[in-house]
Structures are given as structure tokens and as C-alpha cells.
Amino acid sequence: MSCSVSYPFTLCANRMESGRRIYSPDEYILDAKWLIDPNHLFVGPKIGEGAHAKVYEGKCKNQTVAIKIIHKGETPEDIAKREAQFAREVEMLSRVQHNNLVKFIGACKEPVMVIVTELLWGGTLRKYLLNMRPGCLDRSVAVGFALDIARAMECLHSHGIIHRDLKPENLLMTADHKTVKLADFGLAREESLTEMMTAETGTYRWMAPELYSTVTLRQGEKKHYNHKVDAYSFAIVLWELLHNKMPFEGMSNLQAAYAAAFKNVRPSAEDLPEELATIITSCWQEDPNARPNFSQIIQMLLKYLYTNSLSEPSVPPRIFMSENIVLPPDSPGTRSLMPVRDDTGDTPKAMMEDKPKGFFLCFNQCY
């Protein structure tokens, strides 16, 4: 295996015939190794917010971290659904470890559901690209970032996990902007060959066409698809890395989804070198079975770097290695959000470190 795996939960739930785990909030026990005492958490400023969770900069045993607090919901149905999603997300992001997956630190369920991860200071890939416009990344750098992403996806797929929401907003950067890490397992699912997975809404512009049908799926309806949906999303991300433009520019998200699903429209790759155009067009083919897997994608990217003499490559030497690098066994995981950056595009890290200890509130004082 090119990446490592651990099992943080004791799961008592029965399995469906498809092999997919059923996550019930009362039927899992978090391994004590990953259980965080809320008394050790101190909450700082909010740095991100989604439909069902907020993310804060914080401290955990003197380590600066990202603290994701999940809203519990109002109705019994909502509460049960959120707790099951929490169990599923924590199980997945603490099960695998890789240098290109954001490091999981731990979680707790009481007094509220909390997921703690490393905090990356480089911001999102989306913000990095926006700050560079109208310029573009050097192709060697773009391919280096693509290798980071492909290696993270190869690791997930080797453990039967489909990300389903691969896009620049869910790709975070280290402070030196040399490494990309995959984050956000909110839509991730385990895959089995026969299971029916729900077609929950991701981000349409990056979603694979097979996630749609001739009749628009209602949220929660069942539809067959497999891990090749991530290969399609990867192609759109790689196209964006090379062009630094929004894919399907001039279209709304729904227009882009309709064009891709029903008219087989794709962004133009005609201006790219043949090797890169081949990688992209093979990954976004309409037939999922015709798309390459991520092991093949990695080899194609490496071949491009080898066959194109880059006199002064800007990417670190690590991208020329054919093997994935893994984290030590004591630090598996993924999932985080980035800290807020100021108008200059710089992360105010030094300013945050100079704040007095009282800047962070005790977790239990907040809840």
C-alpha cells in the first residue's frame, strides 16, 4: 500500500449487503487514541462556515489547530442525520494517512460534535489562483500540484473512499505554497461495487455527468456511480490549474452541469501540450469506465515531467518520486479549513501568535 490506514472506531452496526457501513450515533465508539477532552480545547476566531458547521482557529494542548463544530440540528430527524454524518466523516478522515491529506488530530461528541485538524496557513488553492490572476502558474508547478492531488486521491481510492467534492476550495496549501493537501470529507463516501449511493449536491461545475440523470435527481435519491467521478473532477481542477480560469466560464453552475451532462460539453484543451491534453480529456470522458484510475494518472503526470526538460523546475524534487510518501503512524487523517487572510493575500500568522493567551476562550465557556 502507498498510504497507511488505521481504524479508530469500534463499529457495532450491521452492514448492508452491498458492504457499506451503516453509521448510527449510538453504535460506534471512538478509539481513546483519538478522543479529545473538550477541556483541552480553546476557541479563537471563526475562520470558516458551512451549512451545518463552523470552523475556528484554536488551541489543543498548546498546538494551533482548526476546530470544526457541527450544528446538531433542530428536529430529531436532523439530529440523527448530523450525528450519523459526524460518525462517518470522523471514521473516514481518521482511517487514512498521507502527506497530501490534511492531518486529523481528534474528535469529541460531547458537549457538541467537534472535529480537530491541523491548521494550514497557506489558504485554499482557489484563493492562491485568484491572487495570481491574470497570470498563470508555471506548467511545472501546476503539474506538481496536480501530482499532490492525484496522490491524495490514489490513497483514498485504495481504501474504498470516494471524495465526491474535489475542487480548488477543498484543496489547502502549506505556508510555503509548495504542497497541496486535500480536505473536506463532508461528501465523502465508502464505495462498494453494488451499492446505491445518494446523489447529494456537491459543486455542479466540478461534478461528473453521471451524477445527473435525464430527470434531475432530488436530493437523497439513489443513483449508481463509482470512484471514477473523482477522475472527472480532477480533470476540471487540472484544467483550471493550467489556465487559471473558471471552467465553463460565462455559465452558471446549473448551466455548466447541463452542458456537461446532456451535451457532452467540456472546456477547451486545444491550447495545451499534447501530453497534458491527453491526461485531461481521458479523465473527463463521458464513459466513466474509460477514465484512468489515479495510479495511471500519476504515471502520466510523471511521464510529462520526465519527457519535458524543465531547465529550472519550480516544484520541489519530491514530485519526481514515483512513490507516495506517508505520515508516521501517529498522525493520520484529513480535513481542515484555512485561516483568514488579509487584503494583501498574506496570512496574519505572526499577528495571531502575538496575541495574549486570553485571546482564546475555554471551549466549555463557549458551550
Report the chain's mean pLDDT, rounded to a whole number.
Answer: 76
Catalytic residue among 37, 148, 165, 230: 165
pLDDT value at residue 339: 44
Same domain, 113 and 130: no
Please tell me the total count of domains within the chain.
2
Average pLDDT over residues 297-309: 91
Same domain, 72 and 163: no
Same domain, 274 and 360: no
Overall residue count recorded for the chain in this entry: 367
Same domain, 169 and 64: no
Strand 222-223 and strand 180-182: the pairing is: unpaired
Give the domain range for residue 153.
Answer: 125-320
Same domain, 104 and 45: yes
Question: Each residue of 67-97: pLDDT tens digit?
Answer: 999 988 889 998 998 888 888 888 887 888 8
Average pLDDT over residues 17-36: 58
Give the C-alpha separation, 30 to 87, whole Å.
9
DSSP one-letter string for 197-233? EE-----GGGS-GGG--SSPPPTT-EE---THHHHHH
CATH code of the domain covering residue 293: 1.10.510.10
Question: Each residue of 231-249: pLDDT tens digit?
Answer: 999 999 999 999 999 999 9
165 is an active site residue: yes
Q: Which residues, 6 or more positions from 69, have their beta carbon under 8 angstroms from its beta carbon?
A: 53, 54, 55, 56, 112, 113, 114, 367
Angle of helix 294-307 versus helix 228-243 axis, rounded to 10:
30
Element (H, E) at 129: helix 125-132
Same domain, 48 and 83: yes
Same domain, 343 and 211: no
Amino acid letter at 243? H
Q: What percent of the chain has pLDDT over 70?
A: 68
Same domain, 266 and 282: yes
Same domain, 85 and 194: no
Same domain, 291 and 244: yes
CATH code of the domain covering residue 105: 3.30.200.20
Question: Each residue of 177-196: pLDDT tens digit?
Answer: 999 999 877 565 665 532 44
Question: Each residue of 344-359: pLDDT tens digit?
Answer: 444 444 344 444 333 4
